[in-house]
Structure 1
């Protein structure tokens, strides 16, 4: 009986999360990869046109789950802290932090930048206009 009750509670929690989340797929025009070089500066690695999609699952105004690809490998990062900066004519820039993945996500009107401090790489997705 306890196992059935636990299963039902998990199912209800999952359904409620799925009900409030909003999924957004973004198809970048160009993806640029960087790795940390000798002097801890980001060094260009390569560039791909029409890279695979990014998928955002926005659970609320304070949480984002992001699925992305590096080559053929898929990653999922969860961001739970953000602040915004109004950049005048260019629009708002949002900064999202992930403590668990030691990563930073920057949402700009024209591009999406993802920095991994733990693994020493960065990806910049240039968005189609």
Structure 2
């Protein structure tokens, strides 16, 4: 996969328990088999058509020469999953939040969905540059 390419059909690589810092070794038995990439590291609650829609951003994972940040938008009819690639974790995470913002705005503008975040139409997510 090339650097900076948006989207990926490959799933992120999950860290293993062996990747944990030494202090976490006491928790090793409880963490065995846990897929740490399956839990979002940040979330934003959006309201879509009167329903709670959770935007979940998963920790960017190294994949080949790229970092991949997976996000899910939890629409009532089923989640929309998107993966964004960057040269490092910051370049993957920032654009993932912008991609969520763009997807939610498109749902509002193209599909007539009532979408708001934090009680505001702006959604409270980073926007793509104009």
TM over 0.5: no
TM-score, normalised to structure 1, is 0.38
Which structure has the highest strand share of the two?
1
TM-score, normalised to structure 2, is 0.38
Which structure has the highest helix share of the two?
2
Q: In terms of Rg, which structure is larger?
A: 1
**More relative contact order, 1 or 2 (CA 8 Å, 6+ apart):** 2
